[in-house]
Structures are given as C-alpha cells and as structure tokens.
Structure 1
Amino acid sequence: MTSTLVSSPAQLDYGLDTALGRVTRTTECRVGLEQVEGDPTRFAVRIPAPLPEDLEHATTVVVRVDGRRLTGTVRHSQRLDDDSLKLEVEPD
C-alpha cells in the first residue's frame, strides 16, 4: 500500500461498542494511509484534528478514499503530538 497524503478527503465509517450494543457513525474527514512498520498485513489511518470525540474508541472502520474501500478491525489507536489520531487496522 502506498501512502496517501493527509490532505486526501475521505468518508470514514466507524463502529463503537457501547453498553447498548454496536453503534456505527460516519464522518467526512481528511486522512493519510500508511503501512504499519513490522506488520505488512495491517494498515494505519491517520486522521488530523479536529476529530469526532469518540473516534479514538472505534473498534471497526471502513475508509473510502481515492476510489478505494478499506475495512478492518482497529487493533491500536494512538493520539499523536499534533493532535491527530493514528488507527492501526487489521483488514477483514
């Protein structure tokens, strides 16, 4: 997978596990895509601020960017120094 500039507009659907069951939310945002170092089967989605406040708790994601559709389970999330969020995703 090649990297996509952080300025790429995307549609991001994300699932949250709540006490009432799974909730799915959708947001339009800018994203960057990259491979996860040391694990070629995973990819990372980097979302610059401002972020939906519950996005860092996402358990699943569907990213539509540059004509691609990427889906998977979030295995790790990390807030970065610039207030962006990096989600490491294991594809379905």
Structure 2
Amino acid sequence: MPLAPAADSTHLDYGLDTMFGRETKSVDCQFDVERLDADEPPWFALHVLPPIPEDLDKAQIVVFSAEGRRISGIVRRAKRLADDSLQLEVEPD
C-alpha cells in the first residue's frame, strides 16, 4: 500500500556504522514508500531511484518523511534491482 508523500519526500537521511562510529549522511533523491502490512508493526519498503549514493545500500538506519510525518527505522534488507534502483526494507523504531 503506497503512502502519501510529504512535501519533502525527496530528502533521505541515513546512518552508516564505521570503524570510527556512526556516520550520518543526507541525500536528495527520488523514492517511493510502500507499507508492508505483513508485519506488526508494519515495515516499510523504500524504493530509491537512480542516481543513488554508492554507500546507501550499506545504511543501517534511515529517516524520511511520509504521510506528513518523519519516520525512522532500521534497514533490515537492501537489494539492488535490475533497473539500478535500490529497495530498502525498513523496520520502524
């Protein structure tokens, strides 16, 4: 079930764990959000369209806007798709 995008739905913050601690990055990109209702609480799938930062598939956390609110969560799975887009499955925290 797609979510209604917020005005700033092209902004995505993400965190990477490095040897020196957590590194937080921001990117402006096009993405769609889909609620995955099979789980409680519902997980989200972010479908990020190219161009994609080369390290986004290694993100451990993401923060984005959908339905007029900020949503943050833990990235449980990242998958590069045939069209060079990226799908992130996110468990809300």
TM-score normalised to the size of structure 1? 0.85
Identity of aligned residues (%): 46
Cα RMSD, aligned residues only: 2.1
Distance in 1 (alpha carbons) for counterparts of 2:10 and 2:22 = 22
How many residues are treated as equivalent by the alignment?
90
Distance in 2 (alpha carbons) for counterparts of 1:27 and 1:12 = 5
What's the counterpart of residue 91 of structure 2? 90
What's the counterpart of residue 73 of structure 1? 74
Cα 1:46–1:15 change in 2 (3 A) is same
What's the counterpart of residue 62 of structure 2? 61
Q: Contact 1:31/1:46 (CA < 8 Å) preserved in 2?
A: yes
Cα 1:64–1:37 change in 2 (3 A) is closer
User: Where does structure 2 lack aligned partners over 5 or more consecutive residues?
Assistant: none
Deviation at 1:10, TM superposition (A): 1.6
Distance in 2 (alpha carbons) for counterparts of 1:67 and 1:39 = 22
Deviation at 1:37, TM superposition (A): 6.1
Distance in 2 (alpha carbons) for counterparts of 1:42 and 1:66 = 14
Higher share of residues assigned strand: 1
The 5-angstrom pairing of residues 1-92 of structure 1 reads 2-4=1-3, 9-36=9-36, 38-39=38-39, 41-65=42-66, 67-92=68-93
User: Where does structure 1 lack aligned partners over 5 or more consecutive residues?
Assistant: none
Deviation at 1:82, TM superposition (A): 0.5
TM-score normalised to the size of structure 2? 0.84
